Chains A and B, each alone.
Chain A
Amino acid sequence: DTEVTQTPKHLVMGMTNKKSLKCEQHMGHRAMYWYKQKAKKPPELMFVYSYEKLSINESVPSRFSPECPNSSLLNLHLHALQPEDSALYLCASSQASRDRTLQKQFFGPGTRLTVL
Chain B
Amino acid sequence: QKEVEQDPGPLSVPEGAIVSLNCTYSNSAFQYFMWYRQYSRKGPELLMYTYSSGNKEDGRFTAQVDKSSKYISLFIRDSQPSDSATYLCAMSALSGGSNYKLTFGKGTLLTVNP
Interface of A toward B, CB cutoff 8 Å: 2, 4, 6, 31, 40-43, 45, 48, 50, 55-56, 88, 90, 94, 96, 98, 100-101, 103-110, 112
Summarize B's interface: helix, strand, loop or mixed: strand
Closest to A111 in B: B43
Bound complex: CA of A101 vs CA of B51, how far in Å?
A: 8
Set B45, B90, B96: member contacting A56, Cβ < 8 A: B96
A103 surroundings in chain B (CB, below 8 A): 31-32, 49, 51, 92, 100
Known contacts A50-B98, A56-B95, A100-B51; decide if A110 and B104 are in contact (CB<8 Å). no
Interface of B toward A, CB cutoff 8 Å: 31-32, 34, 36, 41-46, 49, 51, 88, 90, 92, 94-102, 104-107
Bound complex: CA of A10 vs CA of B44, how far in Å?
A: 17
